[in-house]
Structures are given as structure tokens and as C-alpha cells.
Amino acid sequence: MKRLCFLSPDMDHARRVVADLKANGVAEKYLYALAKYGVDMEDLPDAGPESDDFLEAYKRGVEVGGTTGLLVGLSALAFPPSGIVVGGGLVLLLGLWGAGFAGLLTGLAGAAFPSSRLQAFESAIDQGQILIMADVPKGEVDKYESLIKAHDPEVSVEGIEPPASLIPK
């Protein structure tokens, strides 16, 4: 899959393009729309997890927390506290606990910030444009790009790789 990102100048244009993409085979679960706070987007697909940095921060937290937990467990194995027998199970347990705890905390912190992947579009969104994102098959990128440009030949369509979901679809 390839994610196509483009800015729509207004809501009517965004609705027409989204309807056209749906009519040409893009499922609604692969369409996302993002506008500035307060804009009514009742019939456009929600940006969902694309609007904040929860998933990116969660992944970083799992990596750092798991590594830290494993290092603490290995330290306890090498230098056991007096009177306590430390085994490999504790090392694994500390690694998993560190990954889960740090992932949760950093994910919650990341949810408070707008998506860093979409910073290039931030000023245009603040000016009232609507960001439309569509995940399309890599072999059909040209087809969907021309479909989008049929609505507005001036539109700039950018392709980015969609983030891999933590839970497979």
C-alpha cells in the first residue's frame, strides 16, 4: 500500500474527491481526512490514529522500556541483591514490564501532540484546507493520482508509506 496525501481547498471539493475515491474502489477504512479544530466533517472519514503521535510514541516507548527492563534484569542477574535468587524468568519479566509500562506512558504523552508525519501540511490545515489521505495499492498509484487531479489539476499529490499498524488487519 502507498499513502497518497493531498490538500483540498474546501469541504465541497473534499467531499467530491472522497466520494469519487470510494466509487473507484478505495474502501472507507483506507480514507482519512484531517481539518483544523472546529471544522464540521460529518460525512468525511475521520483521521483516527493519523491525527496524533500515539502509535509512534508507543513504539518508541516499547523499544526503550523493553531494553531498559532487560538491562535491569541482566544487572540483577549479574549482581543479585543479597538473599534473593535471580533467574532468567525475572530478566524476561522485567523486559516485558518495562516495554508495557514505557509504551503506555509514552503513547499517552504522544497522543497529546499532532502527528509528526503530517507537519508539512500543518500550516495549510490551519489556513482552512482539508488534508485527504488515501491508502491505495502500489500498482494503482497512477490511476488514483489522475483521478484526484481530475478534480483539481493544480493539486499536489504526495506519496508516503503508511505506518504499519500494531494490530494486523
Place of cell 501532540: 113
Q: How confident is the model at residue 161 (pLDDT cuts 50, 70, 90)?
A: low
CA trace torsion 142, 130, 161, 123 (10° rounding): 120
User: In the prediction, which pLDDT does 84 show?
Assistant: 74
34 DSSP β-pair partners:
131
- Nearest Cα to Cα of residue 163 among 29, 21, 3: 3
Does the reported pTM lie above 0.75? no
User: In the prediction, which pLDDT does 107 show?
Assistant: 82
Condensed to tens digits (0 to 9), the pLDDT of residues 72-124 reads: 888 888 888 777 777 888 888 889 999 999 988 888 887 766 666 666 777 77
143 DSSP β-pair partners:
none
User: In the prediction, which pLDDT does 32 show?
Assistant: 85
- Which 3 state secondary structure label does DSSP give 38? coil
Record the cell numbers describing residue 61, joined without a space. Answer: 516507548
